[in-house]
Amino acid sequence: MNYTKKLSHIAQGLEPAPLVLKGAHVLDVGNEMWSIEDIAISDGYIIGVGKYEGLEEIDYTGKYIVPGFIDAHLHLESTLVNPRELVHEASREGTLTYIVDPHEAGNVAGLKGIQYMIDETRDARGDVYVMAPSCVPAVPGEDNGALLDCDTLSELCNNPAILGLGEVMDCYSVIGADADMIGKLNAYKNRVLDGHIIGLSPKQLASYRLAGITTNHECITYEEAKEQVRQGLYVWIREGSAAHNLEAIVTGIVDAESPVDRYGFCTDDKHIEDIRREGHISYNIRKAIELGLNPIETYKMASTYPAQCYGLKDIGMIAPGYKANLVILNDESNVSIYDVIYNGVIIDRHGAYESSRRPVPEELLYTINIGDFKKSQLSLAVDGEHPVINIVPGQIVTAKTIESVPSENGVFTPNSEFNKITCIERYKASGRNGVGVLKGFDIHNGAIATSFAHDSHNLIVVGDNDDDMMIAIERIRNIGGGYVIVRSGTVVGELPLEIMGLITNEPHHTVDKKVADMKEIAYDMGIRRGLDPFINLSFLALTVIPEIRITTKGVVEC
């Protein structure tokens, strides 16, 4: 916003504002109080808060107005659809700013994948800020589709769409002062550096923080969060489709009567059907208030504190010079949304998403290349007790056990308790795949396959028999990536994700219906409700999260 004489006159009440919101309880984040005020708006910015007259006036008497919500960390690819659609849906729920890490696209297609995500969100119904993916691959030596080394990330730093450095997952390269990692950190030393911290001791955390890393979204307990805040980090409290960390952390904050100015909210990964059912950051706010957090502090966690962290000086407050990104609520505590205003304009919260389909770069389409994969590659030799990957309910961490698993002639024979899992290299047709034992997924008489497998996005398949697993693998190849369910020799559900094996240009309502139907099929095949069969499966290859994972090179401890 450029300051002009006209704006000065409007602020002083000497001229009417183009738009005035009248008579609401307005959140004063600086003094932490509500006051009944008018809000004068011009050209998408707040010009004044007080008593104003406008050429257009909207009466919000009895309503509550708060700053637009911020998702402090998310991956748009996890919605499975064009990234503009997530922004469209989440904006209905008051989320108007997004701190996005496109490391899924980066792992598959490098700079071309990242640029695709930037281009697709340029005209989205919200402010999308992009963090440069710091760990592509997640850890050295993984089979993925691209390498973003220090030189490449330094080049990406010059892209005007890039806000800072995305989650630094390779913690041990940081605390081990790896030369390439130091180069990446130094290239972004004047920007915000996002973290990804699991399992570091306090002294290791001190080294990690010393590198300039500012945030973390991986806390599971309040004690973790408290220690990280003590060491100077911002903690983004995550509540997504698979990871549910809010209750434990917020309960700890409430019980300890802890200050919250180093906390915010994020979703990380949340499907659109979940956003439509329960909300986006609005859900995090509502749940935090229900757990006893002060409403004013909760709204600041959803706006003011992450804006301060990322240096976004024109959002997070209702005051002159700030963007008119506002959420109008029916009450203070229930987060019942009446209107949402983005850039000074009331958005249509009930209209369907409409967008012309942009051409997708040819090199981003149908990228599954596994070569001539043979059934014999699914064989797993076992000798007595064997390592088992155990799913932890409600979390994306896993647990390792050593157990006697079913076998015949020294070869693992999966069943509904001990499923077989494989991860297949999908970029260079190397024929490389790892095979392991999975417990807690409980699929019976079938298999599920996906090309959406964090973070390298190789093909990951789980089943209780090799025949169905092979059918799923072949079908994933034919549709260019996505989700496939096979039951008793027949493909009974599929969702093609033809763009990078991650997303589709199909509208979200089509995708939502397919995913919902496929989940019901999966639950009918034995997977317990409360476990997302696709999201939880997608994390089983992520080697930066404890405790044990499957990779193209076999089962590894993390």
Provide CB contacts within 8 A for 121, sequence distance 6+.
76, 83, 84, 87, 98, 100, 128, 130
DSSP structure string for 43-111:
TTEEEEEES--EEEEEE-TT-EEEEPEEEEEE-GGGGSB-HHHHHHHHHHTTEEEEEE--HHHHHHHHH
Residue-level pLDDT at 200: 94
H/E stretch holding 40 reads: strand 33-42
CB 368 within 8 A of CB 426: yes
Cα–Cα distance, 6 to 2 (Å, whole number): 11
pTM (2 d.p.): 0.92
CA distance 282 to 177: 39
3 state SS of 336: coil
| pLDDT at res. 354 | 76
CA 215 centroid distance within chain? 15
pLDDT at 359: 87
Q: Quick one: DSSP state of residue 381?
A: B
Cβ-based burial of 43 (10 A; exposed 0-12, middle 13-18, buried ≥19): middle
DSSP string, 201-250: -HHHHHHHHHTTEEEE----SHHHHHHHHHTT-EEEEEB-SS-B-HHHHH
Rounded Cα gap, residues 315 and 43, in angstroms: 15
Mean pLDDT by runs of 10 across the 558 residues of the chain is 94 97 98 98 98 98 98 94 93 98 97 96 95 93 94 94 96 95 96 95 97 97 97 97 92 98 95 90 98 98 98 98 98 97 96 78 96 97 95 89 96 97 97 97 98 96 98 97 98 97 92 93 95 91 92 94
In the chain, where are the structural domains located? 68-313, 363-557
Say whether domain 68-313 belongs to CATH 3.20.20.70.
no
Place of tokens 């008793």: 488
Quick check: 456 and 542 in contact, CB under 8 A? no
Contact 429, 367 (CB under 8 A): no
CB 461 within 8 A of CB 475: no
| Residue 546 · residue 197 · CB < 8 Å | no
Nearest by Cα to 101 from 134, 75, 135: 75
Report which residue type is found at 113: G
For residue 28, CA distances in Å to 37, 60, 66 come to 10, 16, 9
- Token pair listed for 73: 């960390």
Fill in the amino acid letter for 343: N
Q: DSSP assignment of 389-440, as one string?
A: EEE-TTSS-EEEEEEE--EETTEE---SSEEEEEEE--SS----EEEEEEES
